[in-house]
Structure 1
Amino acid sequence: MTDFLPETEEAAASIIREHAAAGKPLAICGGNTRSGFGSAVAKDRLRSTGLTGIVSYNPGEMVLTARAGTPLAEVEAALAENGQMLAFEPMDHRPVMGTSGEPTIGGVFAANVSGPRRFVAGAARDSLLGIRFVNGRGEIVKAGGRVMKNVTGLDLVKLLAGSHGTLGLLTEVTFRVPPRPKTEETIVVSGLNDADAATAMAAAMAQPVEVSGAAHLPLTVTWKFLGGKLPEGETTVLRIEGLPGSVEARAERLASAMSAFGAVAILDEPASRQLWREIRDVHPYVDETMRPVWRISVAPTIGHQLVAALRLEAGVDAFYDWQGGLIWMRMEADPESQLIRRFIKALGGGHATLIRATDAARAAVSAFQPQPEAVAQLSARVKEKFDPAGILNQGKMG
């Protein structure tokens, strides 16, 4: 593997043009912390890690611009100093995928990485205002800006977010940075099965208390959170964030409403923050194995139905985020991709992404949800427009 680490957009553009002219595949990545996605094809790798630094940041405007290779930790530290945050709460893939390196802000947007707050705050792409990137022709392109504007034709900002480097190398990103909540508490409801937990979470979301996290942790995983300090048995957790007085009042109101479903406890701020980091980073499946792990997105009302159906056919373990709409699932042996995707289709549709697996499994299974024919044709036309030689991140999209 040959790594190219350009320090300017022009240098990156030159590398891409050379590979396009020669028809040589080129892997696009940042810190390489999500290197297991898709199947490896290219022997040459173009990394954004030489393109670093915060370009502009005015906390009063709540907008930050950074070069794509800037470490995520550097961005989050600058935001923390000013009481701000990334609203979409990006997960750290390294523990569960067994990778190393340093996550970059460009990689976060290229993979559209979003955590527990996603279901109320939006995905990474929803915070993205503007980008600079180099397409597969070796052309430097700018789209969007510091204020989101309506445009005709393709929305390049949204198109590049989540494209996993198949359309170009992100070189600069501009995004919103809202205030960080002053404190948080988490309501813990014990003893609910998966179906009852889905009902309880829906009831919690209907309360006027602004729940910012809603997850259900079945018996098989509860003991792995907070060092085993959660109540025994199944646990449903609901996060409240904001100003101290407001959080206390809303948490009490939610606890009262949830007492109709089961025994209730409240986690203080330190325990709450740790719990949601562990949920975000899929802590139960950080097991130093390559047993397949899936990230499955479906309607919140059918998540528990999908898991129940799969448990009858295969060895699976699972827990739920996003009010039940995000399922983290670990398989005991094979990925069982056909079975999972068949059941998803039967229950109304969704997306299943293979996050972790052996190299052999990745070679045989599409990591990404196959697209409907019409969407696949459109995607192919977009890919041909941005990368006519087809050299960028082959094997990264299903």
Structure 2
Amino acid sequence: MRVSSEAELAEAICAARALVIRGGGTRGLGVPSGEVLETAGLSGVQLYEPGALTLVAQAGTSLAEIEAVLAAERQRLAFEVPDLRALLGRNGVSTIGGVVAANASGPRRVQVGACRDALLGVRFVDGAGRIIKNGGRVMKNVTGYDLVKLMAGSAGSLGVISEVSFKVQAVPEAEVTLMAERGLAEGLADLRAALGSPFDISGAGWMAGRAMIRIEGMAGSVAYRAAELRARLGGWQEAQGDWAVLRDVTAFAGRMGAVWRLALKPSAAAGIVAALGLEAICDWGGGLVWLLDPEGRADVRAAVAGLGAATLMRPLPGQSLPAFAPEAAGVAALTAAIRAQFDPRGVFNQGMMG
């Protein structure tokens, strides 16, 4: 089922018993059950004010269209959306609603925050068919529930996003990448030191024995910060940065094995990777770790218990492990209570968390 207006969306939700929400089909996890509801028909940039750094678009608008509109004014989405189609073996076109529903965020998160931090407002239809609007086109403090932040990362479990508004960012004048040959533990220690420095870095990653730091901004400022970091850390050189390769986890695409995404306490990352003995790619100074797991091991979640969370992004064929870890009893109760408020009939993405 494909809808082309917010009114059609509300009508479809009211008439449905179980729906699987799909934008471009590039990011969904788990195995939800129900009739597929496609939102790609809700398309188009509704408002773009380059001078105010704001953009409003319908949820089914392709990410590529939005990036092209912004690039024409030398602007961008600050949070650097990952493209995981090759990694996950997906086709389709990424939509901005799917980006928000997944809270999809790349290496620049260490500087500017995640997708949810750039969101100004959101419109969505809940499980009762009600059209709800929260936020607006400017940043301001308000009382009440921050539904904008709640919807980001909710994966279609609370409502179907119909429209989003963002603050956007000017493309910086200059960019420099510093690189050093480093083992994982040493490399992540250097990255944490850089993140803790006053030099405002916009990327801190490690892959294939190399640590990378990115610095962006005005040319003079970038040159100064790069020189200061090189002096402090020692052994780092300017190099061509492979940030898209890091962001999209390209090195694991097309290779046999399950793929795990770990969100961790950065200081714990090196020890966990060493204990598991799996090939790793690290972002956010160790706060995000990707693992290639040839055997589909069941002990990965136990290894990160108390230090983070493990999501099975790409299971082995026939593997029965759930994408998401079971929630603790208190968290599960809170989740159920929130879903009951927004989706009292249990229409959306049934079985996604199992």
What range describes the TM-score normalised by the shorter chain of this pair?
over 0.9
* Cα drift, residue 264 of structure 1: 2.7
- Confirm whether residue 133 of structure 1 aligns to residue 124 of structure 2: yes
- Confirm whether residue 243 of structure 1 aligns to residue 205 of structure 2: no
Give the alignment of 1:86-165 within 5 angstroms: 86-165=77-156
Q: In 2, Cα distance between the equivalents of 1:127 and 1:244?
A: 25
Q: Which amino acid aligns with 2:112?
A: A
Give the alignment of 1:274-285 within 5 angstroms: 275-285=242-252
Give 2:315's aligned residue: 357
* Cα drift, residue 252 of structure 1: 2.2
- Confirm whether residue 343 of structure 1 aligns to residue 340 of structure 2: no
Q: In 2, Cα distance between the equivalents of 1:73 and 1:183?
A: 23
2:102–2:152: 8 Å Cα contact kept in structure 1? yes
Give the alignment of 1:306-325 within 5 angstroms: 306-311=272-277, 316-325=278-287
2:81–2:105: 8 Å Cα contact kept in structure 1? yes
Give the alignment of 1:252-263 within 5 angstroms: 252-259=227-234, 263=235
* Cα drift, residue 335 of structure 1: 4.0
1:189–1:258: 8 Å Cα contact kept in structure 2? no
Q: In 1, Cα distance between the equivalents of 2:328 and 2:141?
A: 27
Q: In 2, Cα distance between the equivalents of 1:397 and 1:86?
A: 29
Q: In 2, Cα distance between the equivalents of 1:359 and 1:66?
A: 37
- Confirm whether residue 68 of structure 1 aligns to residue 59 of structure 2: yes
- Confirm whether residue 368 of structure 1 aligns to residue 335 of structure 2: no
TM-score when scaled to structure 1? Answer: 0.85
Give 1:78's aligned residue: 69
- Confirm whether residue 296 of structure 1 aligns to residue 287 of structure 2: no
1:82 aligned counterpart, secondary structure: coil
Deviations along 1:80-135, one digit per CA (max 9) or x if unpaired, are 11121111111011010010110001110011001011122111111111111111
Deviations along 1:289-317, one digit per CA (max 9) or x if unpaired, are 4x210110111100111111112xxxx21
TM-score when scaled to structure 2? Answer: 0.96
* Cα drift, residue 65 of structure 1: 0.4
Give 1:15's aligned residue: 12
2:145 aligned counterpart, secondary structure: coil
1:133–1:168: 8 Å Cα contact kept in structure 2? yes
Which structure 2 segments of 5+ residues have no match?
none
Q: Which amino acid aligns with 2:30?
A: G
Deviations along 1:162-210, one digit per CA (max 9) or x if unpaired, are 01011111000011102121221111111x2222122211222233321
Q: In 1, Cα distance between the equivalents of 2:185 and 2:38?
A: 44
Question: Which of the residues 332, 346, 352 maps onto 1:390?
Answer: 346
Question: Which of the residues 188, 195, 200 maps onto 1:210?
Answer: 200
* Cα drift, residue 288 of structure 1: 5.0
Which structure 1 segments of 5+ residues have no match?
223-233
Q: In 2, Cα distance between the equivalents of 1:74 and 1:288?
A: 30
1:213–1:322: 8 Å Cα contact kept in structure 2? yes
2:296–2:316: 8 Å Cα contact kept in structure 1? no
1:236 aligned counterpart, secondary structure: strand
Aligned CA distance change for structure 1 residues 288 and 331 (closer, same or farther; 3 Å): closer
Q: Which amino acid aligns with 2:21?
A: I
Name whichever of 156-165 and 193-202 sits farther off.
193-202
1:5 aligned counterpart, secondary structure: coil
1:295–1:327: 8 Å Cα contact kept in structure 2? yes
Q: In 1, Cα distance between the equivalents of 2:32 and 2:92?
A: 18
Q: Percent identity?
A: 43
Q: In 2, Cα distance between the equivalents of 1:185 and 1:178?
A: 18
Q: Which amino acid aligns with 2:80?
A: E
**How many residues are matched?**
354
- Confirm whether residue 181 of structure 1 aligns to residue 143 of structure 2: no
1:344–1:350: 8 Å Cα contact kept in structure 2? yes
2:176 aligned counterpart, secondary structure: strand
1:360 aligned counterpart, secondary structure: coil
Q: Which amino acid aligns with 1:169?
A: V
